[in-house]
Amino acid sequence: MEAQSLPAALALVAGGGAGLSPERQAALAASLPLLQRDYRFERVWFWGCIQGVRGAYYIAEGLGPDRAAPRSRLYSLNCLDWSLLTPATKEMLALAEQLMGRFQGDPSFEYDLAEINAEAAARLIAGGKEPVIKEEARLIATIEQIDRAVGIVPRGAFVKTPLGSVHENRHFEGLSLVEAKKLSSYFHFTEPVNLKNKTLLEKADLDPSIDFLNSLEHDIPRGSWSIQLEKGGTVVVLRSLLWLGLTFYHVPMTKQFGYVYFGTGERNLDLPFML
């Protein structure tokens, strides 16, 4: 969610019980503008918080002119001092899939892969690497996984130019209340996969400038999203049941939307049994 409108946005997603203390909000209000200035980001989003056993990671994302370009991610342990995270690699994502349980809250904590996956550890040893993975690498991979799986935007909020870059749609005035209650009105804000598999007949009804992302209506398993009306029916809230803690909000007929994550950084493996 936008750093500039953070207090108001947090109030809109507070129905799930998650949020930040006034002290943390004040610290973010002071540090995020400095972060934007120092790193020369065009926009800064507050991504959320991953709660560990001994501490919490507060995450921010920096964006450039092309909103679909890879984002710069930073974390803080106190909402004041920020550290830049390296981009996630395929190896990081594969190793992070092996890790189970809570985060510790210590970036330097090391997981012993030999105790978790002997094959993965053997491959690392054969490549001349230590069979360990630091929690910072797991943090990078987890943020990437959550963004890919449940980072969403309303239909029409972004437009794709003929050159391939993605920008905010200045003509977007929000979804109507009827449209805002449909899963098909929301897109995954990541590289589309299912879109390439659509037939020519299905693509005929799509606007290539705004329908360039995957819709939530085809998410597997079905039923992994909860849609609710809150604040007297003035706010539409979507909550992910796959990554518990991810909350998206949109105020119909306005440009107000965003998502935030407050959770433990663990995928809900029990979801198929809950549906």
Distance of CA 177 to the CA centre of its chain: 24
**Which 3 state secondary structure label does DSSP give 2?**
strand
pLDDT tens digits along 17-36: 778 999 999 999 999 999 99
196 pLDDT more than 60: no
Beta bridge partners, 43, equal 63
With 70 as the cut, is the pLDDT of residue 194 above it? no
Cβ neighbors of 45 (< 8 A, separation 6 or more) are: 1, 2, 3, 60, 61, 63, 258
Of the pLDDT bands very low, low, confident and very high (cuts 50, 70, 90), residue 197 is low
Report pLDDT for 195: 53
The predicted pLDDT at position 201 comes to 46
Residues paired with 57 in a beta bridge:
50
Tokens of 128: 């001349």
Mean pLDDT across the stretch 120-145?
Answer: 83
CB 113 within 8 A of CB 132: yes
Contact assessment for residue 52 and residue 109, using Cβ atoms and an 8 Å cutoff: no
Instruction: Identify the residue with better confidence: 61 or 209.
Output: 61
Q: Is 72 helix (H, G, I), strand (E, B) or coil?
A: strand
Give residue-wise pLDDT tens across range 71-87: 999 999 999 999 999 99
Q: Where are any strands of DSSP class E within the chain?
A: 43-51, 56-63, 72-76, 83-84, 110-112, 132-134, 152-154, 158-160, 166-168, 186-188, 225-230, 235-240, 246-250, 257-263
Residue 198 has what pLDDT?
55
Look up residue 234 and give its two tokens: 């003035």
Please list, in sequence order, all residues whose beta carbon lies within 8 angstroms of the beta carbon of residue 199, skipping any fewer than 6 positions away. Answer: none
CA 19 vs CA 150, 219, 257: distances in Å: 19, 27, 17
- Residue 200: per-residue pLDDT: 47
Nearest to 46 by CA among 107, 100, 3: 3
The mean per-residue pLDDT over the stretch 156-177 comes to 90
The residue assigned the tokens 């969403």 is 152
Count the neighbouring beta carbons within 10 Å of the beta carbon of residue 206: 12
Q: How confident is the model at residue 204 (pLDDT cuts 50, 70, 90)?
A: low
203 has a pLDDT exceeding 70: no
Helix (H) or strand (E) run with residue 273 in it:
helix 271-274
Q: Is-contact 56 75, C-beta < 8 A?
A: no
Mean pLDDT of 135-154: 94
Q: Is 70 exceeded by the pLDDT of residue 15?
A: yes
140-156 mean pLDDT: 93
Nearest to residue 19, comparing CAs of 195, 28, 172, 136?
Answer: 28
Cβ(247)–Cβ(235) below 8 Å: no
pLDDT at 157 over 80: yes
Single-letter amino acid code for the residue at 257: F
Report d(CA 55, CA 28) in Å as an integer.
Answer: 17
What does the alpha-carbon distance between residue 222 and residue 83 come to, in Å, rounded to a whole number?
Answer: 37
CB 247 within 8 A of CB 258: no
Residue 121 above 90 pLDDT? no
In this predicted model, what pLDDT tens digit does every residue of 234-246 receive, in sequence order?
999 999 999 999 9
For residue 251, the one-letter residue type is: V
Is 90 exceeded by the pLDDT of residue 183? yes
Return mean pLDDT, the chain. 87
